[in-house]
Structure 1
């Protein structure tokens, strides 16, 4: 069976689901790019299941999906949304990937300034949103594992030698936009930083998600045109 030149491994966020990135998967499929979307251990299940997992289990979920995609493609591009970006950085320590895309990836999280601005802008809408979110706060053991993963990943940025694209929405109320600047300043390889004024945190459920999807398709098609190879 002939392999594709480029395949995309898309990783969803902490305590989220693969639905967060459904529209991006569809866009990449339309561009003729094969995709793999791992389900992180403990996710899309019960709070008890999530509480029982460790960050190493999430890494193993990604590694298993990478191994499957690698059988179908000569080169793999990793696209991580939110915590999925941290897992993508971890993957880069094990495999030589073609490119890394980080979307609203947390280094500094809990953007209370943006929460207040949102409430001032449309109090009724956002108070309902935040009350709904508070009812689904992840279990404490899982939150601890997220913090451990973040701490362990920050020290690995200088090891990233592949081409990277860092994407951040400026109205993200979960991840502080300065996270993108931190990533951009510490990743060692060739990189580009793209910011979007709107889209919120779960950007692929917003209109900005279409623009980002189109941007990513152009980026990936250019990589394919250049027949770029891993270092």
Structure 2
């Protein structure tokens, strides 16, 4: 039995990324008294070759299992997702209405258009991996946040996942806090537009990040993300009594 008076946050990392991309937020939220669940998505946090056999349904199962695990511990749950993790956060809220609010950081509902992406469904049968080192982050002191190779099979699964979640957007009804880096070299601003047009949330807050690239959760705006997230959560819980420090 968990403590139903506690508040939980489910943190979800992105495609080819790892748990280090959320380490700052995890520490800050835990220090503020939240119960944290942070799943390692299938094929991640090990070796890039492990992504080759993963299906997008595996990622859906990962986050649904983590959500149910967190629900056993807490009475109220928020979900925060980075990049593909943001898409998965939207999926959860579309399917589990007891999620209080969703926080999206450079969430992925589409990719930057290119001719190469058009050929991924075919090319993946001939090329398993492509070399794509480094993470899109402005703070160059941060390293090791993603695989150096991308599995084309996994990229194809990622593309299918985004299509599925775009079809679920009308079922998203909870308040949303959206962070979007003005300079993001991975996910286009179109993902924000798709979200704004597609969801049925009555409350949506959009915050532009001016000093971070794609992996903003570990970049120069990470404190902005944490502080505004705390404000968002505090506002949604202000009518209720919770045994948690939300004064930061």
What is the TM-score with the length of structure 2 in the denominator?
0.79
Check 1:7–1:131 CA distance in 2 against 1; reply closer, same or farther (3 A cut): closer
- Counting only pairs closer than 5 Å after superposition, residues 72-83 of structure 1 correspond to structure 2 as 72-83=73-84
Q: Is the 8 A contact 1:6 1:224 kept in 2?
A: no
User: How far apart in 1 are the matches of 2:109 and 2:66?
Assistant: 25
User: How far apart in 2 are the matches of 1:227 and 1:52?
Assistant: 45
User: How far apart in 2 are the matches of 1:24 and 1:171?
Assistant: 21
User: How far apart in 2 are the matches of 1:140 and 1:19?
Assistant: 23
Could you tell me which runs of 5 or more consecutive residues in structure 1 were left unpaired when the two chains were aligned: 113-129
User: How far apart in 1 are the matches of 2:133 and 2:161?
Assistant: 26
2:100 equivalent in structure 1? 98
* Aligned counterpart in structure 1 of residue 233 of structure 2, from 200, 220, 225: 220
Q: CA deviation at 1:88?
A: 1.2
Q: CA deviation at 1:151?
A: 0.9
2:224 equivalent in structure 1? 211
- Counting only pairs closer than 5 Å after superposition, residues 69-218 of structure 1 correspond to structure 2 as 69-96=70-97, 97-110=99-112, 132-133=133-134, 136-190=148-202, 191-218=204-231
Q: CA deviation at 1:83?
A: 0.1
Check 1:138–1:132 CA distance in 2 against 1; reply closer, same or farther (3 A cut): closer
The list of structure 1 runs, each at least 4 consecutive aligned residues, that deviate by more than 6 angstroms after superposition, is none
Could you tell me which runs of 5 or more consecutive residues in structure 2 were left unpaired when the two chains were aligned: 115-130, 136-146, 242-248
Q: CA deviation at 1:26?
A: 1.3
Q: CA deviation at 1:50?
A: 1.0
Q: CA deviation at 1:91?
A: 1.4
Q: Is the 8 A contact 1:11 1:84 kept in 2?
A: yes
1:90-134 Cα distance to aligned partner (Å, 9 max, x none): 21233121111111012332389xxxxxxxxxxxxxxxxx97339
Q: CA deviation at 1:30?
A: 2.2
* RMSD of aligned alpha carbons: 2.1
Q: Which region of structure 1 is more displaced relative to structure 2, 144-153 or 214-223? A: 214-223
User: How far apart in 2 are the matches of 1:214 and 1:74?
Assistant: 22
Q: Is the 8 A contact 2:112 2:187 kept in 1?
A: yes
User: How far apart in 2 are the matches of 1:4 and 1:35?
Assistant: 14
Q: CA deviation at 1:2?
A: 3.2
